[in-house]
Amino acid sequence: MTDGPKSNELKAEIVVLGGGPGGYTAAFRAADLGKQVVLIERYPVLGGVCLNVGCIPSKALLHMAQVIHEAEEFGDNGITFSKPKIDLDKVRSWKMGVTKTLNDGLAALAKQRKVTVVYGMGKFSSANSIQVESNDGTMTAVHFDQAIIAVGSHPTKIPTFPYDDSRLMDSTDALDLKNIPKKLLIVGGGIIGLEMATVYHALGSEISVVELMDQIIPGCDKDLITPLFRRIKKQYKNIWLETKVTSIKPEAKGLKVGFEGKDAPESELFDSVLVAVGRQPNGKAINAEQAGIAVDERGFISVDKQQRTNIKHIFAIGDVVGNPMLAHKAVHEGKVAAEVAAGHKSAFDALTIPSVAYTDPEVAWMGLTENQAKQQGIEYDKAAFPWAASGRALSIGRKEGVTKILCEKGTGRILGAGMVGTNAGELIAEAVLALEMGADAEDIGLTIHPHPTLSETLGFAAEMISGTITDIYMKR
């Protein structure tokens, strides 16, 4: 007689379904507020897409790309390095080391807080229980008083593409660095597509990008995209805008891709194709109907400002509740859900969720974009400080950057800001704080920024609005 699958029962005051940045934050916050918490994660480690196959490994590889480019470009300034030798196995294990350190850190944080972690795929079986199936077949029934759904999203697939061919990649495959394709096509000129283009270009691939809209990173103002576009246009073989991929056919020598668009060829052969055309929520994969939770036809679960679903004791956070699908949004929503579940009067009322493309140069923006201001008929004053006038930008050899600020006409209150340039992703945080604090251009301009830094450029942009700028000449 063989043993049948094992089964367990657990009881939780709060169960969190999904162990990504939103989920583990919610679990830890709830535990810190005195709740007894069970955290369910389908993969054998915590951290979700962001830590394991997203934000963190991509940032490690983007750092590698930056080192390669900086060494290469410094030749013009009198220091020449030899061509890099790439040991892909070593790069991969370094990248995995970075994620493992954080995985281990999260497991330790869960232990310190006495959060029980159950590894396996969890699905609702009622409005007060979730069944978890672990890899070894063990079934665990988790009975809960309250639940927080944090199940994230998955890459959008285009049904006619041949996904069973390993030369067709999604972002997870691309981060695996199985090989360096000679000719790589990237479908989708959004954030994932352009970040991975940066990595593979540094590794030596010839890059082509195809984007449906008339601009890469379509959600961002065009003037912030232009410096990035100019640089990558020189580096990459092709950037086809307003172009559609009509077919991808596997052939012995590569993937034959058909195009429809103004400048693209009818078809071309590539060694690999990376598809990065957005992500879809995972709301349909958890038997939400068993708990009576409303999920829309795309898989989104709608919530109120306290992160409650239509079922009062069940909350949802992160990618599964809507765009933007960003870890830093999920983390804040996770805290709100945990606090409300623990009886606190919290609500998600952030004025903005910043966006960053960690390309080279980086692009970051927050608050109102200029496009949105125009569409909404909001009157604004605008200033754009050119980094060519920043001593720090010149000293690092990157003068193409721009820092832009939009302020309300009349009051000078900051409405939005954006930057393109080295470290823009770090610099945008100051603008976010200024918006949250209700600062105006004078507040920002009178704030003493250390010299010489790139952070000064936000102060200078604000001074351009106030009329007090001396670092450039403005006609009066």
Q: Which stretch binds ligand NAD (CB under 6 A): 174-182, 264-272, 318-326, 343-351?
A: 318-326
Give kind and range of the element (H or E) at residue 58: helix 55-73
| Closest of 329, 333, 357 to residue 219, by C-alpha | 357
Catalytic residues, which ones? 451
In whole angstroms, how close is the CB of 175 to ligand NAD at the nearest point?
11
Give the total of residues touching ligand NAD (CB under 6 A). Answer: 26
Q: Which stretch binds ligand NAD (CB under 6 A): 271-279, 280-288, 310-318, 381-389?
A: 271-279
Return d(Cα 348, Cα 392) in angstroms, integer: 37
Based on the shown chain and the rule CB under 6 A, indicate whether residue 107 belongs to the binding site for ligand NAD: no
Buried b (16+ CB within 10 A) or exposed e, 89-110: eeebeebeebbeebbeebbeeb
Q: Which stretch binds ligand NAD (CB under 6 A): 70-78, 185-193, 248-256, 429-437?
A: 185-193
Q: Which stretch binds ligand NAD (CB under 6 A): 40-48, 182-190, 258-266, 395-403?
A: 182-190
Contacts of 291 (CB under 8 A, 6+ apart): 124, 126, 127, 128, 147, 311, 314
Based on the shown chain and the rule CB under 6 A, indicate whether residue 188 belongs to the binding site for ligand NAD: yes
Q: Which residue's C-beta sits nearest to ligand NAD? A: 190
Return d(Cα 334, Cα 352) in angstroms, integer: 16
Based on the shown chain and the rule CB under 6 A, indicate whether residue 326 belongs to the binding site for ligand NAD: yes
Is the Cβ of residue 120 or residue 401 nearer to ligand NAD in the bound state?
A: 401
The amino acid that residue 466 corresponds to is S
Torsion on CA atoms 442, 444, 450, 454, rounded to nearest 10: -120
256, 267 in Cβ contact below 8 A? Answer: yes
DSSP state of 19: -
Q: Which of residues 207-236 bind ligand NAD (CB under 6 A)?
A: 210-213, 218
Based on the shown chain and the rule CB under 6 A, indicate whether residue 324 belongs to the binding site for ligand NAD: yes
Return d(Cα 321, Cα 333) in angstroms, integer: 10
In whole angstroms, how close is the CB of 425 to ligand NAD at the nearest point?
8
Is the Cβ of residue 281 or residue 401 nearer to ligand NAD in the bound state?
A: 281
Based on the shown chain and the rule CB under 6 A, indicate whether residue 248 belongs to the binding site for ligand NAD: no
Is the Cβ of residue 360 or residue 456 nearer to ligand NAD in the bound state?
A: 360
Based on the shown chain and the rule CB under 6 A, indicate whether residue 193 belongs to the binding site for ligand NAD: yes
| Residue in this structure with the two tokens 């294990």, named with its chain if needed | 93
Residues that bind ligand NAD (CB under 6 A): 158, 187-193, 195, 210-213, 218, 244-245, 276-279, 324-326, 356-358
